[in-house]
Amino acid sequence: MVSKFMMSLGMFGLIGVALITTDLKAGFQNFLRNKAYVWTTGVFGIILVTGLYTENWGELLVRLRIALPFLSLPIVFACLPSFTKRQYHSLLYIFVLLTLVFSVGMFVNFMNNYEELSAGLTLSKAIPAPNEDHIRFSLMLCIAIFAAGQLFLKKFYWKYKWERPLLGIITLILVILMHIFSVRSGLLAFYVGLLAWLVHVVVTKRKYVLGLIGLLLLIAMPYITYQLVPSVRAKVGLTIHNISVYQKGEIGHYSDTQRFLSYDIAWDVIQENFWWGVGMGDLRDEIQLVYFLEYPQHKFMFPHNQFLTFWGGCGLVGLVLFLICFFVPLIYRKHYRNAFILIFYVIIFTSFLTENTILNATGTAIHTLFLLLALNYLDGQYQEKVLLEGKNS
């Protein structure tokens, strides 16, 4: 939330802790034993392999640098001791409180500049966010909402019992702020995450009445939000207008029409390099060439879709391998039974549909940090279960 330098510092700090304070041999054995860790590193490997047919090594090194946490952090978290339930929940609690502080600051700035920022919403401009990345901050805000909700349901408190109802209030505040800021990709991830939570409750708890009530509320919430929140209404109207404009063959300078154009250009590149892609190092050059030759009046943009980016850079083969690397940690040892990691996966996957979530350092940090925190905690829970079953047998 503060700076990319702080993210890099944090990553190297974790590596330093692992190198200095842990048994590296035992940690690496733990890494190899846990397939969720191993497959996570595959994302870095897929990008690296495209170096075999990439010409622009400078750009490839940029992609590898950004993807480096996929290689280093799974090994680091495998070396670290497993978090206890209280430690894991405490880390989520700290994240929720930090998100609340930054969100309130963002809201105060919005209210102090209401007319100017509200007018910007009608022109596809976003409300200023921490670290100048409203898309990734919206993603963090969405994760924080479900983290706060899960902590509330788990009756978590750090020191005082009144913290639990406070968590419920914080959850509500974050939901309201999410809708005021109205980043569409964040709102989409929020509602899809709610749907995933409802399905999880119905399947695991057999609470069909609660599921039905929740589904009705889920259907009603977008309509109510549209009626009550001007920024949401403005975004919806602008989206409809932009779709209509693009269907008429006009591109203009709206964010939506620029995205649609980026999809079309990416698909042209994919069709010429369907199976193996052009190499992640050359993808920028190939897309820029199309912009230069056919759309010189428009600025370069990677396709705002993680799947199209991997398909264009690594081919269909690379995209399939990426999806395997992405989903194995969720399926391994039936991690999807844990509500929070399931919802986290749904949020990240939904963001992939409309954004290049892990094409920059912030998105990569969000994905790897929350995934590996969960995997470290769940690995400890699994080892305790195995040990207990061994004693009982």
Q: 250, 241 in Cβ contact below 8 A? A: no
Please tell me the distance from the alpha carbon of residue 356 to that of residue 77, in angstroms, as a whole number.
25
- Is residue 249 helix, strand or coil? coil
Nearest to 17 by CA among 69, 81, 71: 81
Position 391 scores a pLDDT of 75
- Give the tens place of pLDDT for each residue, 15-52: 999 999 999 999 999 999 999 999 999 999 999 999 99
| Ranges of the chain with pLDDT below 70 | 120-125, 182, 393
Residue-level pLDDT at 122: 59
- pLDDT for position 370: 97
Q: What gap in Å lies between CA 275 and CA 180, rounded to an integer?
A: 42
Q: How many helices (H) and strands (E) does the chain have?
A: 16, 0
* Predicted pLDDT of residue 120: 66
Q: Which residue has the tokens 């890494």?
A: 31
Give the per-residue pLDDT at 288. 96
Instruction: Please name the amino acid found at residue 209.
Output: V
Contact between 205 and 158 under an 8 Å Cβ cutoff? The reply is no
What pLDDT sits at residue 171?
97
Q: CA–CA separation, 170 vs 232, rounded Å?
A: 21
Smallest CA-to-CA distance from 307 within 271, 350, 370, 257 is with 350
CB 146 within 8 A of CB 96: no
CA distance 381 to 85: 8
Residue 48, both tokens: 């690296």
Angle, helices 24-33 vs 35-49, to 10°: value is 90
Q: What is the pTM of this model?
A: 0.93
Do residues 59 and 285 lie in contact, with contact meaning Cβ atoms separated by under 8 Å? yes
